[in-house]
Structure 1
Amino acid sequence: MLYHPKWSKVKKRLMSFVCEPLHSRVDFQVINYRKAHDQLGRAVITVDKVEMLSMCTITAEREEYYRERDIRIQLDDFSYDDVFNNRALQEQAHEQLKTEGIYGQYDFFSALEEYFNSPIEASLTSNNMIIKILCMLDRRVGKRTLRKMKESISEETLLVQEFYKLRCDAENIHSSK
């Protein structure tokens, strides 16, 4: 799925959600590789100019291919004739990658679309790590909500925990137990 709105407009909208204390520290970048066959590249979230999450399409697609192959080996299923089975295996491989935090640029765009079109309460309970990270930066998530998350944050991925700590530090909330 290609993302149609202009990135500059999308980035402006995304930055409008970033809380004030982190506004100058956090950045989102989309790097397209013109010579790539699909012209997709990477989406990057940086904090203080350090890449915290790089969502590279080439890496994600390569890893998805290997995961799908591993699933086929486990299932001893090398029949490529069944389109629905192929799609199911590909989806299973893609889900594995998402749980490990391996994303393509298209995952970032898909997460943005969901994030922009969902209330913040729904985004906070999302299973999508990218959406959770965006929530940790979101000005609509107040200090009271951040404090309430103190116990449950340990169940999140390490990266979501890092963004939670970043936000708490920026808001002068003691996030350590």
Structure 2
Amino acid sequence: MLYSPKWSKAKKNLKSFICDTLRSRVDFQVINYRRAHDQLGRAVITVDKVEKLSMCTITAERKEYNNEQDIRINLGDWDFDDVNKNLSLQNQAHEQLKKEGIYGQYDFFSALEEYFNSSIKDSLKSTDILIKILCILDRRVGKRTLLKMKESILTEHELVQEFYKLRCEAEDMYICL
């Protein structure tokens, strides 16, 4: 599924939320593979033109399949006829991926949709790594809020910590993690 509205419009909107100190350093790209059957590819977050997070659909789907197989092995359940159980196992595998910081391009679009349609206050409470990263980069999150996050950030995924450190350094807030 390709992103709707147009990616160029969404990217412009997303870039408008990036804090001034990082606006020229952080970028977002969506790369679609025309020859792929679903035309999906990957989404990328770069800092200083270096990929910090690549959200490749093929990689994510392969890993999700492997996670689902591992869950089935642990349960000893190879009944593929129960559609609801299959969906439940697939959702479990997908949520496990997100906790590991492995995303597909479609996850990036879902996170964008949620981020654009939620208040910054609600987004900061999100358990989604992508939404947390977008919040940390957001100009609406000020230095006081960043300082308040200092303790809780230690319990977050390493990607979130990396972007937190980047933002603090960009704001001349030298916080040791």
TM-score over 0.5 for the alignment?
yes
Query: Which string of whole-angstrom CA distances, capped at 9 and with x for unpartnered residues, describes residues 96-136 of structure 1?
Result: 11111110000000000000000001100100000000011
Aligned pair 1:3/2:3, yes or no?
A: yes
1:1-150 aligned within 5 A: 2-150=2-150
1:150-165 aligned within 5 A: 150-165=150-165
Displacement of 1:30:
0.1
Query: Which string of whole-angstrom CA distances, capped at 9 and with x for unpartnered residues, describes residues 46-91 of structure 1?
Result: 0000100000000000011111111111111111111000000000
Separation in 2, partners of 1:88, 1:53: 27
Query: Which string of whole-angstrom CA distances, capped at 9 and with x for unpartnered residues, describes residues 1-38 of structure 1?
Result: 54211110000000000000000000000000001111
Unmatched 5+ stretches in structure 2: none
The residue that corresponds to 1:171 in the other structure is 171
Separation in 1, partners of 2:110, 2:137: 18
Give the superposed CA RMSD.
0.9
3-state SS, counterpart of residue 22 of structure 1: coil
Separation in 2, partners of 1:95, 1:150: 26
3-state SS, counterpart of residue 53 of structure 1: strand
3-state SS, counterpart of residue 74 of structure 2: helix
Separation in 2, partners of 1:175, 1:108: 28
Equivalent residue letter for 1:68: E
Displacement of 1:176:
1.1
Tell me the percent identity. Answer: 74
Unmatched 5+ stretches in structure 1: none
Equivalent residue letter for 1:84: N
Moved over 4 A (4+): none
- What TM-score do you get using the length of structure 1 for normalisation? 0.98
Q: Matched residue pairs, number?
A: 177
